[in-house]
Structure 1
């Protein structure tokens, strides 16, 4: 599946009704209700607050792929890409894929968290730490779906923060992947290798379009995490993480890369003439670092010291929209870190709204340097 075809499919079938970071059930419900007849929609459970959790089944092939999005309610980029992908399945070029596999997609596992724009569910539980206890209705829904569907592959679709870098470089980890460990020894089992091969295929397919901006998560084992749990049950599981791209805080550019990654993964899985990969291809993907702040103000004067100021945006739901509020989180030497935006204070004081030296936890949309008000807004 070449990049030209992927670009054409994305521009043709991108769902205009979904935009930005705040995606909730009422946004996707009309899309689910208007899916074509070849999509089978089922309500497979309810959330803590009684919202419907739906699955969408498409395709009639022997290879079964289960994917779920918005397990964390504030991680919506993959949900947008899933509906773009569903829309693209009406294209004639997608028919062979749907004849080779059957997909079951849960587009929004955590509708309560999505409405509140929070990682957690309505009981303040992280569903991605509930794989063993199954204490939450959403966890039971996913676990039951997994057992009934018996997938050959699982796609665990998430979003990651802007801090992540590709290794220790100045490249943001726009996409990151993981073949989770199957045991505490991080054994490279046959199941893990299958997931590694898919990730390697995605990485190879996207490098021309997204050079050096794909990372790999640490594979420390935690059986309470859903990916680790499903991998331990011998279902090859791939963690997708949608990250940051330059100036793309609404994750609309990244959405396109996720769309391409999903189709590259599926195309590789169903391909009869697979390119051969091994563990070295997977391990060659750099592990994620944490080298970014949203804003760094360099060379700020603090009494007898010259220091840097690290600022991160706090995502807050206000008036049904996500607002990015700048907050000072570090005042130190940040010479080994990078800012998605950088300002040079040129050895001057950096002042707050009261004309006092900036301090940790300061929140405002501007700072003052040499009597000039500088915006920190996006």
Structure 2
């Protein structure tokens, strides 16, 4: 009899796993039908969300209530759906420049508002009540910055509660006494899964609730749900999951919400090759969060072994946008072999709706334990300084008709332009633009400087690095180049 029961349990477990696997696949394959088209880029603002919030306020499937306001008076809304006993609370954009999950939340609303996946949605909504607080820090979002208008990190305000946004989060958590909480963030794109070249596209943490890092039932449940989500992400971004260090931070909301009895799951959206606006990562948020909610509704997460949580690789931070390896660099008459690590740093435009890049050399020397989204083994190449093109170009229109690749091959990385529009922030061409009187500093490879140089093999210039973008001068393939610099 015991053998029969065990066999039945195994069959049931495999059946549930197959169901969830099929659901995940269907969610991934049908995502475009639910992706909210209004939200296309990372730099979304409170005003972008309000028409959508009002749309759901008028929808009888949802309950929408204003639960607070930001320092500058922007509304904080709680959007709920479902009638089940298990309360699941999801909040996003506690940091204003971390919007990936906010977009995914509105994709999830579209999913629940559709007529598809009827049986799965019925199971979720009969067993769970879902509560979403998107864009907790709308003032920070307005200027695309981490901190709120007071200049504090809301995620370090769980004890003092000086921010109205933090007060709202605490009030909502307490009023719901939520069983599960999803703390949704973005992390730097330069995190990688420990000891691999793969970016930590998604990172997780079941925060500790005390310095001893004890595991009670609530934290254990969070760990199990994380293992479940990790298995999903591995299907679409294999090896690209990290796990945060779980040292207790007594001021943090995640740690305290865990302490207050809500099984808390931190999700951090990192980097994915070629996904500057994080739209593929948004999709992974949508798929994994919905699948996790289904697992909570069916309680299938309970079957997962806790030990699997520790097997997720830890987060590391050893990625560059571009890494040049083993290149020769001449200094004071002697050649040295260097690795050079470069990052492309975003500079917001005035209205915080878009950005341009001002890149920097982040490190140089032996970078053999570091990785790059793009890596070039430059063995046999030598770093060569670029020159200023000797002919003054009258305008950007005149520059546009020049063969810039030929200029680069001839050793020119700078062009003087007589009339540079005052509102132009960056060069749209893969060559730097100089004002008539600007003098280029003496060339050096140095941490903190803009990475601009040529690579020569023998007597031939084969590659250009312009503002941290690598350009293969012998290839016609489209590159990921966005902009060079303007020096007035």
Query: What is the alpha-carbon distance in structure 1 between the residues aligned to residue 346 and residue 193 of structure 2?
Result: 23
Aligned counterpart, 2:394: none
Once the two structures are overlaid, the 10-residue window that deviates more, 28-37 or 76-85, is: 28-37
Task: Give the secondary-structure state (helix, strand or coil) at the position aligned to 2:68.
Answer: strand
Once the two structures are overlaid, the 10-residue window that deviates more, 16-25 or 149-158, is: 16-25
Aligned counterpart, 2:356: 323
**Aligned Cα root-mean-square deviation (Å):** 1.8
Give the alignment partner of residue 76 of structure 1, picking from 95, 99, 106. 99
1:52 to 2:75 alignment: yes
Aligned counterpart, 1:25: 46
Query: What is the alpha-carbon distance in structure 2 between the residues aligned to residue 244 and residue 348 of structure 1?
Result: 31
Give the alignment partner of residue 341 of structure 1, picking from 355, 371, 374. 374
Once the two structures are overlaid, the 10-residue window that deviates more, 22-31 or 191-200, is: 22-31
Cα distance per residue 1:88-126 (max 9 Å; x no partner): 012342232122211111110000110111111111101
Greater length-normalized contact order (CA 8 Å, ≥ 6 residues apart): 1
Query: What is the alpha-carbon distance in structure 2 between the residues aligned to residue 40 and residue 232 of structure 1?
Result: 28
1:367 to 2:458 alignment: no
Task: Please give the residue correspondences for 1:344-359 in structure 2 after superposition, counting only pairs within 5 Å.
Answer: 344-345=377-378, 346-349=380-383, 351=385, 354=440, 356-359=443-446
Task: Give the secondary-structure state (helix, strand or coil) at the position aligned to 1:310.
Answer: strand
Query: What is the alpha-carbon distance in structure 1 between the residues aligned to residue 256 and residue 165 of structure 2?
Result: 16
**CA displacement at 1:63 relative to structure 2:** 0.7
Query: What is the alpha-carbon distance in structure 2 between the residues aligned to residue 356 and residue 104 of structure 1?
Result: 56
Larger-Rg structure: 2
Task: Give the secondary-structure state (helix, strand or coil) at the position aligned to 1:349.
Answer: strand
Task: Give the secondary-structure state (helix, strand or coil) at the position aligned to 1:316.
Answer: strand
**CA displacement at 1:272 relative to structure 2:** 4.2
1:12 to 2:12 alignment: no
Once the two structures are overlaid, the 10-residue window that deviates more, 339-348 or 127-136, is: 339-348
**CA displacement at 1:20 relative to structure 2:** 2.0
Once the two structures are overlaid, the 10-residue window that deviates more, 309-318 or 270-279, is: 270-279
Query: Contact 1:175–1:214 (CA<8 Å) still a contact in 2?
Result: yes
Query: Contact 2:224–2:302 (CA<8 Å) still a contact in 1?
Result: no
Query: What is the alpha-carbon distance in structure 1 between the residues aligned to residue 292 and residue 385 of structure 2?
Result: 49
Once the two structures are overlaid, the 10-residue window that deviates more, 148-157 or 88-97, is: 88-97
**CA displacement at 1:322 relative to structure 2:** 2.9
Aligned residue pair count:
377
Once the two structures are overlaid, the 10-residue window that deviates more, 31-40 or 255-264, is: 31-40
Give the alignment partner of residue 222 of structure 1, picking from 238, 249, 254. 249
Query: What is the alpha-carbon distance in structure 2 between the residues aligned to residue 77 and residue 292 of structure 1?
Result: 20
Query: What is the alpha-carbon distance in structure 2 between the residues aligned to residue 236 and residue 108 of structure 1?
Result: 21
Query: Contact 1:350–1:358 (CA<8 Å) still a contact in 2?
Result: no
Query: What is the alpha-carbon distance in structure 2 between the residues aligned to residue 350 and residue 148 of structure 1?
Result: 64
Gaps of 5+ in 1: none
Aligned counterpart, 1:284: 311
Aligned counterpart, 1:100: 127
Query: Contact 1:22–1:322 (CA<8 Å) still a contact in 2?
Result: no
Query: Contact 1:21–1:322 (CA<8 Å) still a contact in 2?
Result: no
Structure-1-length-normalised TM-score? 0.95
Aligned counterpart, 1:181: 208
